[in-house]
Structure 1
Amino acid sequence: MAVLIVFWLPYYIVFWPGFQHTDLPTQMLQFFHIRTRFQGRVVTDGINIFYSNDHPFLQTMLVGWAIKLGFGVHNINFGYAVYSFIQMILFIVAFSSILATLYHFKVSVFILKISLCLYAIVPVFPLYALLIGGDSFFSVFYLFYMVGILWIFYTKGDILKNNKFIIAMIIEIILMSTSKNQGVYVAAAVFVLCLIYFKRYRIRISVCMLIPILLFQFVYCGSFFKIARVGTTGKQEALSVCFQQTARYIKYHGDEVTSQEKEAINKVLNYDVIGKRYDPNLSDPVKRTFKLEATGEDLKNYFVVWLQMGLKHPGEYIQSFIANTYGYYTISFGNHKGVYFKPEIMDFYIGKRDWVKKDKHIVELLRKIQVNIPEKRKIIREKGVQIIKVIQKIPIFNCFFNPGTLTWLMVMGFFVLWTKRKYNSMLAFLPVFLIFGVCLLSPKNNNLRYIYPLCCMIPAMLAAAFGEKNTDLMD
């Protein structure tokens, strides 16, 4: 922890009070109960629905309270600085806990020191630690979750005898799930695996893994969201792949679509525009045409048509999938998606949205909560950004900014563990692979922020793969 603090503190000083993700303005409008839009439609009305869980509700509230703290001391930067500092410390504790866990289970100290050096000197780690955004927020809790998973597999389940550990896992799974919707999917998949793998601990596994999933789904998303007036994520968020494939089919084979197929598609998506809006790298333009009034029967009919079309031209479906995912397994060191340096994020948001410009009240609020960097500090900050951009091009360092390289480093880690027959370790790092799987279903291609939780685990995973470990000694 001391090493990471020493190496990361200069980043905090130079880039004070941190970075803001482009989703933040929308979240803050929701926090102050102002109508907002997402995917081209109104998702909060400011009366019946205050928030949308498209952005993590918990993080929206925490950042909002930090901003109110800034208002209280008449310095908005102070609120952002407190939030980013706390998040940075949590990342430091999480990374340190991961390495300490591996050390406890006899991973080579020399290899662990190399991993520590990577966490300390590769800029992507402190940069995301200072980023006020949902992906950083999720990554923190994902790392703490991974600490628990490592303990479960490395002790062959014996740690589940510890009631304090079970309580800690319940809290961690709830926090990971509330920090981003994909958290509950990761937790559910690992729960099924553990239920099968640790037969004698099924009851305790159900307590520490199933209960928090049920609490999240039925208490948090069900009852609490109704009380807090939070709208849930639309069905279209999980259907990006299918919608993209349909749009590509219509773009290139629209003359083959029958009237019945067109009718089925049009009840779910706007048939007349999705072919024109098809963007191979981004599913959002097509996804925005999703019709909220579509019923379960409409979706069922759509999937029948989707399957029929896929059987006619499977190549189009394959190409659609590859076009929207290739960045997550293609090595391209020129990628800069997912690194955020703009301090005037509110002005950027206003400039990109005509509906915001038309409302003086919204513009006034956004500028009120915008980070204000003094001119002298701007110069320091800009020089820091320039240095980061140079470092991004340095071999080894550049691997951690490239989603495709991260994926192959993960594959290498699993391969080495397999050759050494470290099957417990392979299963322990399964949640890392699940992050990659989620990326393949994401709407955007080649974006670092989606795969960042995997990035966080790469140094630790490679340490476990290449470091010596006595599998017979499980303290």
Structure 2
Amino acid sequence: MSVTLFTIGIIEICTNAEQFFSKKRNYIYLICTILGTMFFRNNGIYVILLSFLFLLFVFRKQYYKSILGVFLTTIVFFYVMTTWGYAKLNIKQGSAKEMFSIPLQFFARLEQRENENLTQEEKDAIYQYLPVENLGSYYNPRFSDPVKKYFSDETFANHKLDFIKLYIKLALKFPGEAIKSFICNSYGYYYPDTLGWGIITETFKGDSDVGKEMQDVLNWNQSPIIQSKLIQWIEDTINKKEIPMISMFYSIGFMFWIMLVCMAAIWYQKKYKLLLMFIPVIGVWLTSLASPVFGEMRYVLSLFMCLPILFTFSTTKDRELLNK
């Protein structure tokens, strides 16, 4: 919701910046939506930073002071709260492994498929960060949790640069596997006809590969939230995408391509400033490519929520907007 409200704020700035920045209540609105985006989403800070840079560039001749003031104030406040504030409140920081599904999946894939071509030095380097025997046996191409659960935060904290160097070195040595690993763990975000999780009403689905992975490797147990045949039917219908045409409307990949069409329409109509309204959703989508799952709706729910608004502004015939 916060990303949607933030997107509406950007639309207001793009369509009438002078009026927007002339009212104090709009500053409060923008600050609240920025803070909401950063605090309620793990990737929210990246969405805000990306939006900040583009807004600052587009409005560099006018309103740059207002944009700098609002964004820098909220970003500094966010970092103070998530460092000093969290420490005072005894709130633990999240693990670094949450942002490293791409390299961790790649390492596990190499252990499974290129083990004979890895040197002992390379295997030892991987083992430093993923200290588990038979790492390749835990590799699921579409789901990184079975691998990343073994990630050593302590080793990473002491050897961050070495981790990056190792990934780059192995990616250059095995470029095909690096690309395949990335695609397998992200294709649901851009390939329309993907079977995945649209909604889920239990901790695992026993008759699915991912469900078995959760049960056997992660020790998760089945725990339906609500026992209902109707809810189960809705879940199966959405997740299995069995209704022709209609099923595409809850496909992440299909929504992504609709968004690109909307952007093309904006460009064709020369409403260039309005392209800024896509930045928050693009930021969410880009960071979701590095998520633990190949395609999960909850990571990009803001895309579904924002798309009706984006579509409306992409197809409007309002002459005033056309001249913005």
TM superposition score category, shorter chain reference: 0.7 to 0.9
Q: Distance in 2 between matches of 1:340 and 1:328?
A: 17
1:190 aligns with 2:37: no
Q: Distance in 1 between matches of 2:149 and 2:18?
A: 45
CA RMSD after TM alignment: 3.1
Q: Distance in 1 between matches of 2:321 and 2:286?
A: 32
Q: Tell me which residue corresponds to 1:430.
A: 279
2:119 to 258, 267, 271: 258
Amino acid at match of 1:254: N
Q: Deviations over 1:323-377 (max 9, x none)?
A: 11111111226x351313459x9xx9xx9599899xxxxxxxxx9xx97x7xxxx
Q: Deviations over 1:272-309 (max 9, x none)?
A: 33222111101111111111211445232232222121
Decide whether the 8 Å contact of 1:240 with 1:283 is kept in 2.
yes
Measured after TM superposition, the shift of residue 183 of structure 1 is: 1.4
1:416 to 262, 265, 269: 265
Amino acid at match of 2:44: G
Q: Tell me which residue corresponds to 2:200.
A: 340
Q: Deviations over 1:445-468 (max 9, x none)?
A: 121221211011122211211221
1:206 aligns with 2:53: no
Where does 1:372-383 land on structure 2 (aligned, <5 Å)?
382-383=229-230
Measured after TM superposition, the shift of residue 151 of structure 1 is: 0.7
Q: Secondary structure at the match of 1:246?
A: helix
Amino acid at match of 1:416: A
Q: Distance in 2 between matches of 1:388 and 1:309?
A: 40
Q: Distance in 1 between matches of 2:235 and 2:123?
A: 50
Q: Distance in 1 between matches of 2:111 and 2:29?
A: 50
Q: Tell me which residue corresponds to 2:255.
A: 406
Measured after TM superposition, the shift of residue 414 of structure 1 is: 0.9
Q: Distance in 1 between matches of 2:35 and 2:96?
A: 22
Measured after TM superposition, the shift of residue 471 of structure 1 is: 3.4
Q: Distance in 2 between matches of 1:168 and 1:468?
A: 28
Q: Deviations over 1:151-199 (max 9, x none)?
A: 1112246512322211221122112211111112111110111111111
Q: Tell me which residue corresponds to 1:216.
A: 78
Where does 1:51-450 land on structure 2 (aligned, <5 Å)?
140-156=1-17, 158-199=19-60, 200-219=62-81, 221-270=82-131, 272-332=133-193, 335=195, 337-341=197-201, 382-383=229-230, 386=233, 393-394=242-243, 397-450=246-299
Cα distance change on mapping 1:461 and 1:394 into 2, 3 Å = farther
Decide whether the 8 Å contact of 1:145 with 1:169 is kept in 2.
yes
Decide whether the 8 Å contact of 2:198 with 2:235 is kept in 1.
no
Decide whether the 8 Å contact of 1:167 with 1:208 is kept in 2.
no
Measured after TM superposition, the shift of residue 387 of structure 1 is: 6.3
Percent of matched pairs sharing the same residue: 25
Q: Distance in 1 between matches of 2:146 and 2:153?
A: 15
Q: Distance in 1 between matches of 2:51 and 2:180?
A: 30
Q: Distance in 2 between matches of 1:280 and 1:352?
A: 17
Q: Distance in 1 between matches of 2:268 and 2:323?
A: 21
Measured after TM superposition, the shift of residue 208 of structure 1 is: 1.6
Q: Distance in 2 between matches of 1:414 and 1:433?
A: 11
> Whose Rg is larger?
1
Q: Secondary structure at the match of 1:429?
A: helix
1:452 to 298, 301, 322: 301
Q: Secondary structure at the match of 1:149?
A: helix
Q: Deviations over 1:407-461 (max 9, x none)?
A: 1111111111111112112122221222211221111012122121101112221
Cα distance change on mapping 1:356 and 1:382 into 2, 3 Å = closer
1:471 to 316, 320, 324: 320
Structure 2, unaligned runs of 5 or more: 206-210
Cα distance change on mapping 1:341 and 1:263 into 2, 3 Å = closer
Aligned length: 312
Q: Deviations over 1:52-101 (max 9, x none)?
A: xxxxxxxxxxxxxxxxxxxxxxxxxxxxxxxxxxxxxxxxxxxxxxxxxx
Q: Distance in 2 between matches of 1:440 and 1:185?
A: 13
